[in-house]
Amino acid sequence: MAAMKTFQALVAVFLFIFLAACARRGGNVDPRTFPEPASQEKEVFQAGIASWYGDDFHGKTTANGEVYDMHKLTAAHQELPFHTLVEVENLENGRRVLVRINDRGPFLKERIIDLSLKAAQRLEMAEKGTAAVNLRVRRWGDARSARGTTPSLRRGCSVQAGAFSLKENAEDLLLTMGDIFPDLAFRVAEEDGMFKVVSPDLASAAACGDVLRRLAQYHLQGFIRESVVPLED
């Protein structure tokens, strides 16, 4: 009987030590092993169609003065400041790539970014030629940073609803914008040899987002343009 009590006491001690050790291990779980909450992911800046360009432009000068190398992770965008880092997500397969903006374009309807060959290969879209993508700005380029340091200005935004080589086409879209947004004075701006239909400067990204959602209801696309607005006295 005494031997049985001794055995039971040893078992109890062993279980206590084992459970305490498990508790200690549970308290030391590395939080880095858990994924970050989805809410921490930066908002989508723009959605649309991506294309890519290669041999015809390889070795030629880009809009910011660099020599285009289709084997590097770069891209062309109509408005983003040069050296902005953009994460491009292929919505057809979930693949992502980080590219640096060093050129201007594309100027075809519905296309929002022109990727290097290497970037297109990373997204597995090179063979197809185009893909539906989301763009997320991960780091703004030099132009935005410099503007942001000006004490008399604040950041704002506007919405570009289209860009055309013919002014008549831009004016047709301007009439449509007047019907959809009677209280928002869109205008035609001639920039980079194109006629662009843009909204006035808006006070916040939320306001610009409301415009994009309104456009989507009419099956129209647009994107947010970073801008600066003078501070009111």
Say whether 153 sits in a helix, a strand or coil: strand
Residues 130 and 168 in one domain: no
User: ω into residue 31 within 30 of 0, thus cis?
Assistant: no
Would you say 68 and 57 are in contact if contact means Cβ atoms under 8 Å apart?
yes
Q: What is the pLDDT of residues 15-40, one digit of tens each?
A: 454 444 444 333 333 332 223 333 33
pTM for the structure as a whole = 0.48
CATH code where residue 177 lies:
3.30.70.1070
In a domain, 29, yes or no: no
Backbone conformation region of residue 179, classed left if phi is above 0, alpha if psi is from -120 to 50, else beta: alpha
> Which of 122, 142, 162 corresponds to the end of one domain?
142
Tell me: the pLDDT tens digits for 180-206? 999 889 999 888 788 999 998 887 778
Whether residue 68 contacts residue 103, with contact meaning beta carbons closer than 8 Å, is answered with yes
Q: Are residues 67 and 92 in the same domain?
A: yes
Q: What is the pLDDT of residues 106-156, one digit of tens each?
A: 877 778 999 999 999 999 999 999 999 999 999 888 654 334 333 344 556
Dihedral (CA of 153, 159, 165, 171) sign: negative
Residues 132 and 176 in one domain: no
Q: How many domains does the chain have?
A: 2
